[in-house]
Amino acid sequence: MFGYRKAPDLEAGGSEALYPGMVESPDLRWALIRKIYVILSVQLAMTAAVAAFVVKVPAVSEFFVSSNSGIALYIFLLILPLIVLCPLRYYHQKHPVNLLLLGLFTVSISFAVGMTCAFTSGKVILEAAILTAVVVISLTAYTFWAAKRGHDFNFLGPFLFGSLMVLIVFSFIQIFFPLGKLSVMIYGGVASLIFCGYIIYDTDNIIKRYSYDEYIWAAVSLYLDVINLFLSLLQLLRAADS
């Protein structure tokens, strides 16, 4: 009849497919992607706020390095994200426990980032932040563009994991047997490349593989990629600046 309009079928999807052969609704996938990036934006904003507080209030960083209780608390804050990851992985689909654990995880990492920035010049921090933002935006746009044209980056998983293990072992060697400024710059450069690869890999998983109730874990994965990229660039630039 005249004036009758059929209601849109959400399952059929009105948006264009994100990659060739996509069988699910593009609208639902885009909704998941938006939710993940909103959570990621909140995490990064929280990290920037906490890190700025640590940097702007010298008493905080002095407390963490000048007293035994402060050092013990700092070590605890460094270990806390690893502790929180276990229940967060288990409860990442259970609301609101997942959001509470995510907030605790983000704040603990934010303090570690703030402590690193507290002993770094403002120029180096700004350079690392700008580079991180440009790289993350560029790689995200590239991954969406490549997925649209049928490229798949799932093959990167084993190579990135192996590279990360080598990086972790090398960092422990650096702690016990310092190799000098050049090795720190090499470490920062290699780590930056590895986490660039992880940004592409995890973004590709968000486009194609994460289910609709895994938005918290997807946001955690991307958040760790961005933070580790920033810290790697910070380490590289700080070594070069010194």
Residue 152 domain flag:
yes
Name 185's Cβ contacts closer than 8 Å, sequence gap at least 6. Answer: 236, 239, 240
Residue 53 domain flag:
yes
Instruction: Give me the domain span that covers residue 78.
Output: 26-241
Residue 10 domain flag:
no
The per-residue pLDDT string of the chain (242 residues; one tens digit each, 9 = 90 and over) reads 444 444 444 344 446 788 888 888 888 999 999 999 999 999 999 999 999 998 888 887 787 777 777 778 778 888 888 888 888 888 777 888 888 999 999 999 998 899 888 888 889 999 999 999 999 999 999 999 999 999 999 999 999 999 999 988 888 887 777 777 788 888 889 999 999 999 999 999 999 988 888 899 999 999 999 999 999 999 899 888 76
Residue 103 domain flag:
yes
- First-to-last alpha carbon distance for the chain, in angstroms, is 77
Per 3-state DSSP, the chain is made up of helix, strand and coil in percentages (nearest 5) of 80, 0, 20
Structurally, the chain folds into a number of domains equal to: 1
Residue 1 domain flag:
no
